A and B are shown apart, each in its own frame.
Chain A
Amino acid sequence: MELKRVVVTGLGALTPIGNTVSEYWEGLSTGKSGCGPITKFDAEKFRTRFACELKNFSVEEFIPRQEARKMDPFTQYAIVASDEAIKDAGFDMEAINKNKVGVIWGSGIGGLKTFEDEMIYFGKGDGTPKINPFFIPKMIADSSSGQISIRNGFRGPNYVTVSACSSANNAIIDAFNYIRTGRINICVTGGSEAPVTIASVGGFTAMRAMSERNDDPATASRPYDVNRDGFVVGEGAGALILEEYEHAKARGAKIYAELIGGGFSSDAYHITAPHPEGYGALLSMIDALEDAQIKPEEVDYINTHGTSTPIGDPQELKAILDCFGEHAYKMSISSTKSMTGHLLGGAGAVEAVASILAIQHQFVPPTINCKDLDPAIDQNLDLTLNQGKARKINVALSNGFGFGGHNATVIFRKV
């Protein structure tokens, strides 16, 4: 069966460094940190008291209060980012066949805030379960894709992928597969997370996975720096409109890039620690390159998973060296998590958007906050430290790896 080509015709972003795609790019290209003290709850007694929260975001500007209150924040973010992407794609909503439009979203956790609030309320009671009837539909991870379809009348395949921090990459690849096999014409995809909550921050700090640089939050997310001490949690959403190429061309759509390959693998090693040799990461990138039918030498830019954890960052770079050999030194590499923080299930989405924008602008966003490059890291890699730069980018690759040992890689190419 001949596979169809799949292109990106719309983008949406709601991130700690910008609430729209253009603001996001402004932040990315200028090296802005989205980090600051936690305002969403009293974090005084927490080991980590900072996060990458959204700024100046009021959901009621986008969704009527009565609808918004029946959505967990992670779904609200999904609605806002997908609205932007759908508008950007410029569909004639009367003309497109909505039965052939899917919504495949990614979220690592789902409605954690909703879960916490309801259980805290229960815990304060006498044991009588006075659970709000909207608790379950707000909390479940798939409420995000469900709400997007209800809002827009899209009746194609609809679900949420859950693979921790590779969730959104898995969603994008599933959407890609449905379109290239001709099952649907268009898919709204991406991912969102709202993890600045007590359970999330408390839980990740208990694992010693998060940075505790409370005296200097803005530089806490510092991938590849020798003094990195963990990831910084972030919230928000990224959205992509994937569309079958001929369908997009026929309606004269603006095309950002082509999605040419998706790869995945599992570490089969440990529930949280990455494989010490980066073997799962390597397999994922090889799988994506084979799927894209391109040579490793064709890749110009890698947006790494690069979370700023002591053990995760070097393994991924080792995998890149193993995968690309000498070409690894000719590519540009950066971790935009240094700016956005780690959006968990939404990370792959905002990083896919960053990769596509990098192709569009022919500009590599930087890895900020790296003052002293870790001597354990190959010093000849171009990690785009602290300053973005213009360069030719024909092909961009984006990695996402998640607790559970899930790895997923997507590759975009200039059209």
Chain B
Amino acid sequence: MEILRVENLTKVYGKGAAAVHALNNVSFSVKKGEFIAVVGPSGSGKSTLLHILGGVDRPTSGHVWMDGQDVYAQKEEQLAVFRRREVGLVYQFYNLIPVLNVVENMTLPVLLDYREINENRLNDLIATLGLKGKENHLPNQLSGGQQQRVSIGRALMNAPAVVLADEPTGNLDSKNSQEIVELLKASHKKYGQTLIMITHDETIALQADRIIAIEDGRITRDEVIRR
């Protein structure tokens, strides 16, 4: 079943002679529960694609359909609700709120949605992510790997249909990197989520079901390696 469809997505930065096509007429679709690795050299447009999928950046033209809904047909306020309910974003630099502790950072999207926190899910996530005993720590009291776990926790807390990860291991050593990938894969399996991950690491890419390669804003390869 299709969960995500991208049609003729184009993103242009700048104007006239200085215009840069970060994405150039990109189209693809994603099935529910798929794990996709997006690869490509620096500046190829991977992050732009991911941010547009996550509702963070608006495309210059084209459409993103999530669960049958045209994402960018929504108003700004609706888009914010979309971001907190439908997608979970994981960044390379964790992007945690420095003044909030582990639990507060993880539950932030739920709180922003004015909903009750699902304690079972929270405890489950804390246990799964290996953050037991660190609940009240602030980001600057955690290691890089731990901070990334919190950021994954935040992305998963609302049980989004799609998890988007922008080089989640780019800032970590190989041991921590493998652990983070394992965690993402585990939750992808456990909660049946769709996972789209940007990575430079070939071994990680090879663990995905499908690899999309991007170069100069165009898809140069879209290959299903595992069914």
Query: Do A and B come together as binding partners?
Result: no
Chain A interface (Cβ < 8 Å from any Cβ of B): none
Chain B interface (Cβ < 8 Å from any Cβ of A): none
